[in-house]
């Protein structure tokens, strides 16, 4: 099987020739930040040899899913942060970013008041029409080595990226009507752009970010039902109305109690299924409960993988495959992407070992040694 056949078989909950092994790096993407970092060179070479590469395209969505051109300005603050202002028809909105380990991160998001929200809602809706030329060309050029994926925000992701977290939490109680109004607009616009991309050939995987914004402690199970399940299910149905398209939903956080509610959305795969203590997903339990409903994608914590010993890497890889792979419907993946600049030597060596060991343990029929002590 080639990469696309292998990954899509897993998303159908089938047994491919071996467990797909994923890492959040694309060795064929020369524009990615890590492609010019020498510390990643050996890992990228190993990805070409051993990984099932997903060629991800972040669909440009405009501001609040509109292609409207808004007057904008930016200014540097005294502490080195940057304030950016957009002038909407109803007035200005401002965000502030500051240098951090990622290069730059948010200090203040665009919406922190009802007035800010009304100003965002005043932005004229100009349909977003992304250019898929490069994505489609890369997918054709790398056929067999890479499977294509187009990434969208879901409606709650769009709000979570715009509204300060404390404000968002308070509004689930005090201004629920306003959140629903914004979610309705976001859902309609996302669906419109999604349909355009599907018509143009996007896929075969459509990837949605966002449900983690609606998990405890920020929100309640009731919020997850109304803000995620109710809005994401129609988007998934839209994707599935196009032959040969699959949906993966991404969510960090403690998702264990919501696994069945994710199944109600109807998607084909869920990542990242973080294990304890950061998350709360025990892979054997998840496999028992929802393994027949969607593909499980995970669940090795990146820090455990990057900082452990060689024996730790072997144990993590063998354990995840042992617990998640029987019967198919499993993709081995870390729970986060490599982020260090430069990549520490041990992390690089461990990532390569992770890829190699996954190939050793992941062939079907599975033959994984029992853990020591059993």
Interval 58-77: pLDDT, tens: 999 999 999 999 999 999 99
Predicted confidence at residue 373, as pLDDT, reads 54
Strand partners, 53: 146
Which parts of the chain have pLDDT scores under 50? Answer: 374
> The dihedral of CA 231, 268, 24, 65: what is its sign?
negative
Query: Which domains does the chain show, CATH number per domain?
Result: 3-67+126-361 (3.20.20.210), 69-123 (no CATH)
What pTM was estimated for this model as a whole? Answer: 0.96
Joined together, the tokens standing for residue 162 give 């715009």
Helix 283-290 × helix 310-324 angle, to 10° = 20
Tell me how far the alpha carbon of residue 359 is from its chain's centroid: 24
Q: Is 59 exposed, middle or buried (0-12, 13-18, 19+ CB in 10 A)?
A: buried
Predicted confidence at residue 105, as pLDDT, reads 85
Strand partners, 74: 84
Kindly state the helix (H) or strand (E) to which residue 207 belongs, with its residue range.
strand 205-209
Place of tokens 């690089």: 348
Kindly state the helix (H) or strand (E) to which residue 152 belongs, with its residue range.
strand 146-153
Measure the CA–CA gap between 205 and 273, rounded to whole angstroms.
19
Tell me how far the alpha carbon of residue 75 is from its chain's centroid: 31
Measure the CA–CA gap between 305 and 148, rounded to whole angstroms.
26
Predicted confidence at residue 179, as pLDDT, reads 98
């Amino acid at each position: 099987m080639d990469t696309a056949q292998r990954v899509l078989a897993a998303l159908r909950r089938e047994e491919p020739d071996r467990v797909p092994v994923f890492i959040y790096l694309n060795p064929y993407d020369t524009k990615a930040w890590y492609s010019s970092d020498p510390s990643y060179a050996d890992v990228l070479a190993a990805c070409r040899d051993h990984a099932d590469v997903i060629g991800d395209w972040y669909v440009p969505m405009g501001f609040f899913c509109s292609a409207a051109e808004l007057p904008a300005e930016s200014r540097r603050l005294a502490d080195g942060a940057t304030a950016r202002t957009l002038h909407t028809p109803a007035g200005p909105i401002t965000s502030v970013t500051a240098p951090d380990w990622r290069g730059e991160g948010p200090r203040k998001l665009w919406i922190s008041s009802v007035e800010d929200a009304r100003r965002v809602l005043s932005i004229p809706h100009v349909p977003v029409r992304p250019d898929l030329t490069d994505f489609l060309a890369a997918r054709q050029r790398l056929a067999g080595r890479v499977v294509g994926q187009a990434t969208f925000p879901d409606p709650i992701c769009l709000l979570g990226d715009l509204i300060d977290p404390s404000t968002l939490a308070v509004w689930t109680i005090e201004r629920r009507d306003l959140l629903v109004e914004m979610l309705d607009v976001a859902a309609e616009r996302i669906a419109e752009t999604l349909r355009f991309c599907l018509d143009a050939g996007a896929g075969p995987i459509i990837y949605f970010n966002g449900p983690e914004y609606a998990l405890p402690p920020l929100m309640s199970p009731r919020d997850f039902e109304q803000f995620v399940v109710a809005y994401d299910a129609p988007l998934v149905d839209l994707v599935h109305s196009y032959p040969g398209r699959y949906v993966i939903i991404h969510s960090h956080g403690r998702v264990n109690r919501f696994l069945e509610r994710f199944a109600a959305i109807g998607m084909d795969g869920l990542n990242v299924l973080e294990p304890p203590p950061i998350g709360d997903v025990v892979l054997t339990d998840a496999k028992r409960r929802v393994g027949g409903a969607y593909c499980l994608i995970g669940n090795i914590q990146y820090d455990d993988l990057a900082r452990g010993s060689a024996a730790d890497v072997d144990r993590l890889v063998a354990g995840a495959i042992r617990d998640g792979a029987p019967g198919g419907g499993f993709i081995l993946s870390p729970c986060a992407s490599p982020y260090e600049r430069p990549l520490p030597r041990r992390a690089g060596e461990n990532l390569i070992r992770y890829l190699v060991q996954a190939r050793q343990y992941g062939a079907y029929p599975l033959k994984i040694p029992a853990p020591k002590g059993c």
